[in-house]
Amino acid sequence: MREAVIVDCLRTPVGKAPRGALRNMRPDDLGALVIKALLDKYPAARDEVEDVILGCAMPEGEAGANMARQSALRAGLPDSVSAMTINRFCSSGLQAIALACDRIRAGSADVIIAGGAESMSLIPGGGRKPAPNPWFVENWPEVYMSMGLTAERMQRKYEISREDADAFSYRSHQNALRGQNAGNFDDELVPVVVDHVTPQGARSSLFCGDEGPRADTSLEALAKLRPVFHAQGSVTAGNSSQTSDGAAAALVMSEKRARELGLKAKARFVSYATAGVPPEIMGSVRWSRFRRLW
């Protein structure tokens, strides 16, 4: 079996939905932005791309109608390059990369761009037309439980205290802020030009950094927040993941083709696995494995 390698990954800064800098940006445009940035960074690969695979948890509305295809064409790839959009909810982008690597290892492609794009500002979490299956509603409603409620189940199952959850959240903010200040994310970020319409007229600004990390938070501030999903719960707006807007893409190749093009791989794809769990404890098992090349 052939080896699949990841030459590079680029992403937009992560916007905070629904009121962040990317709230009005279409996900297919964001996808196009990172694809174009990869092609500009690695011009030797521009005419080699055979397929584009993008993940999207809510492929409807502005993310509908095969978003990956729109992103590929907007990025300037020729219409001879195929594309598909796939959905595995939160791991859709990882699944897109895994599918690309599998195609390459099987010998059906040499160069693929894979990643994901999402707008949680433009497309609501439950979709624009929620239509639960009546049988599940009657017999297995946990299938449609929100992540907030499944997180509460996990908190009780593993006896995670509110204090521990807040401490973990605070430490995450501090780590992210240190990374930002040290420039650790600069090489992977693609700035986004954001247009604004104000009473004074139209203007543009450059969005360059993730909006999630908060320098103004503290353990005391986190402790004052009220639970969001359950009156006696521990999941708050401060210790749970934010809703986000953004896009990312990876340039995936066979090791042989990367070597022929003179491109150095950042990682070699080894394997991945998926596992299902009861819907009410969604999130307890989900992993992919990569081996870094140094």
For 185-232, the pLDDT digits (tens) are 999 999 999 998 778 788 899 999 999 999 999 999 999 999 999 999
- Summarize the confidence of residues 273-286 as an average pLDDT: 81
pTM (global) more than 0.75: yes
Domain extent listing, the chain: 4-125+140-292
Would you say 11 and 117 are in contact if contact means Cβ atoms under 8 Å apart?
no
> In whole angstroms, what is the distance from residue 164 CA to residue 216 CA?
19
Rounded to whole angstroms, the Cα distance separating 160 from 164 reads 6
pLDDT band per the 50, 70, 90 thresholds, residue 7: very high
294 pLDDT more than 60 = no
Summarised one tens digit per residue, pLDDT across range 246-272 is: 999 999 999 999 999 999 999 999 999
C-alpha span between 175 and 286 (Å, rounded): 23
Supply 13's token pair: 């800064």
Overall average pLDDT of the 15-26 stretch: 96
**What does the DSSP assignment read for 249-265?**
EEEEEEHHHHHHTT---
Q: Does domain 4-125+140-292 have CATH number 3.40.47.10?
A: yes
